[in-house]
Structure 1
Amino acid sequence: MALNAAKSGGRVLVARRGGGNLFGRAAASGFSTSASTAATTPQRISHYLAHHPRATWEALSAAFPAAAPPHGHTDAVLLSLAKHRHSSSSPEIVARNALTFFYWSASSSSSSHSLRAYCLLAHLLSRAALIRDASVLLQSAIAKHSSSPASPFLDAFFAAYEDSGTAATTRGLHLLVHAYARARLPKEALEACRYLAQRGVVPSLSAFNAVLHAAQRCGQFGVAWEVFELMTLKRVYANQSTVELVIGVLSREGALARMASLVERIHGKKCAPGVVAHVALTLRIFKEGRTEQGILLLRRMLQRNMVFDNISYSLIVHAHCQAGDLRQGRMKEGSEYMDKMLHEGFVPDIGTCSEMIEALCDSGEVGKANELLTAVMDKGVVPDQNTYLRLINGYGKVGDAQGVIKIYHEMEHRELNLGVDVFSSLIRVLCQSGNLKEAEKFLAVLERKLLAPTSEMYDLLISSNCEKGNTKKALWFYDRMMTENDNLSVEESNHREQTVSFG
């Protein structure tokens, strides 16, 4: 009995042990399931990645056997890693583990990663100075998620930067500009530059140069000039590589020789490529009518000795003349620039002088225009026929016949080759001011020079005499014109007869 009892007790004990083992297996199974579920939470995964020395695919599969994390967990894991700096691990180890996790979770899921996941990981990699990995990831993200315009992508990338908090660095933002440039998307790269600059993050010089290079290679020269303007406006000043890229754009546009010649003519001698590049940028801005923007950039260039004083003053005067500001209350400012140039010994080119003279004449200040011409001539500037014609028109507008005649004699004295166009201007302005006798004298001078009067000259004399009521004189000019123009058509002849009869 005792033996049986012992055996029975033994069997009970064995049964209890067996029962205990079964409970243990059940408990272990329950714990495994619970632990697996707990282990796949974003907090547990990010903690694992932050403290594991090397998270391989095998290690991740062993640690998290429940296959891929649920949808959205990847974003949460990467955000947790991006927001915190882990003192126990280096940023490089954390970033590499995050990159491994990123690809591991993608291989275990049927859906691709979100744009936010790409952005968060790119910031993690760039913070750890894993530039190559970050660049490859960004190019992949651009290929999969980019759009035109690039603003949705930029919004997501900047949001990921801001969500990283105090752990964030701007390195990733600069890398994004590089990534667009490498993908040969210069427009999107420029958009990224502007987007970042508006948010207080000015792209680096190397980023700007990368966009310039991409724009040049793609033949998008307009984009290249916009990049060059933006970097100058944001005080990211050009280095040798920048200048070479801009000169390359000028060359491919076929404008390099003309621009270099213009700068040399203003300065009096050849200038460095950097000066040519910045002058070309300024003139492009002025041509678009953005006078104030161009002057602002010129002043910054002067502060950095990127252009010479005489070139800067010449361009400013040119801008005011071109924009017509000197007919809109800006005459004083333009005159002050010109006076300052002359006082400091800087001599503007004849083109700039002619524009300033025309602006002064248009505002009725012909005397000031004549004084300016005298001043620049004293500095060695030689006026051309175009300069004198502008003065002739100016004197004609104020009705100063003697001033017109004086300019003509000065042109004769300088032995300029006076053609029909000069006499046409003389006759026109004198007729318009009512000085018909002087206009007739110039018609006679024209004929003495063996030049043929034009129909326009006769028309002016005929119509002006008609307005004065001198019909007899008008008919006399009409008869002369008909005699000298045998090929005049019947229709034109009839028209002129009506003009004389009813004028």
Structure 2
Amino acid sequence: MIDAYAEKGFWTEAEAIFYRKKDSARQKKDVVEYNVMIKAYGKAKLYDKAFSLFKGMRNHGTWPDKCTYNSLIQMFSGGDLVEQARDVLTEMREMGFKPHSLAFSALIACYARLGQLSDAVDVYQDLVNSGVQPNEFVYGSLINGFVESGRVEEALKYFRHMEESGISANQIVLTSLIKAYGKVDCLDGAKVLYERLKDLEGPRDIVASNSMINLYADLGMVSEAKLIFEKLRAKGWADEITYAIMIYLYKNVGMLDEAIDVAEEMKLSGLIRDCGSFNKVMSCYAINGQLRECGELLHEMVTRKLLPDSGTFKVLFTILKKGIPIEAVTQLESSYNEGKPYSRQAIITYVFSLVGMHAMALESCEKFTKADVKLDSFLYNVAIYAYGAAGEIDRALNMFMKMQDEDLEPDLVTYVNLVGCYGQAGMVEGVKRIYSQMKYEEIEPNESLFRAVRDAYTDANRHDLAKLVSQEMKYVFDSEHQTDSETKAEPDETTSDLEDL
């Protein structure tokens, strides 16, 4: 009964049966019962309990056997408790027991996972010297460890040892080696191993297929990658990594329509599950100008409580650059890089506003406007933009007044957003006031602000004034460009004179 509970990981039930005999002082538990209870603790990852039971069993007149030690080594190795596993191995040998190959394999795999490959090799040599024949799991662990660390030559060396010892490579080993060849762009070697997978029973490992697609993608071999992709898709084996690689490939070779098609299919298949896959699909939409779709995916991320990562914000900045002045983007990037409070929330708010998802934008905005903290000026700018874009002009202007009450000086982004609010509300005098300040250089003339004033007059149905601003902007900035060109030309003339000498 205790063994059945242990197998299923029901450690509390197993423990209850194990200690049921404690009231009977004369009845000693045998080593099998201890081994089963240790196994139950191991399955539940209760390593301290397992070790404590192991240490105390001698006090009750029961000595650990070979099975006890092997179980503990495998258990500790599986939990990446490599020092404890090594100590148990040492004690096992001191007690005169020969470790099982599975114990060595587990310890080697643990060292490999932790990137301690020299220790993994030491255990491998120890295994060989002790007369234990390495099995496919030992070789597989070493090969995979070297592959993951980019040490392809060592991985191939142990693959050769494996084949020389008469052990056939299994699917896991072949997949690891395909990944290894992929890391060094060795197409021929990868293809040979991929073909060998056909001879094994069962479907090919999706990791191997993805590695082949990725290798073809890195080499720009579209048709070859597409062939494997379509076979996987037809059999229903393609996963989120498969789709992500194909999106990457199509984007890199300029086949944006195909990338969008794959992104759409990935979305419909329900394979957009983590931050990385969301980022891949959003980047496709962003490049293609499908900003609303980006906003919807961002909202889905927020709803699923997936925390946006640096890759997400890279895409969000790309989106913002397509719709708001570069000065506003730069301000947001600066606040994000400096790790200012609510900078991430501000960026998300701006994106929702830009793509027209105003309810989401205002909900996001209130996370910082209603927070019991003093707001930075960039947060006021975001709030003014969000409220203005949503048509809530009074709330936008209230934010501007609150900003002034806090003795925060309006900057260029503030004026751009404020002018936008005035234009939507038909407050022509407000637009004129800011335009006048710019004309008389109370506000430094800026192309983004000129455009904002022009657009505000257009929104207020004053096309005559918008036309005048366009002419003024053309005059100011054409003159500046001409001056810049003349300035840049002077060194060129000097260089030309020097060349004549």
TM-score with structure 2 length normalisation? 0.40
Where relative contact order (Cα < 8 A, 6+ residues apart) is larger, the structure is: 1
Which structure has the larger Rg? 1
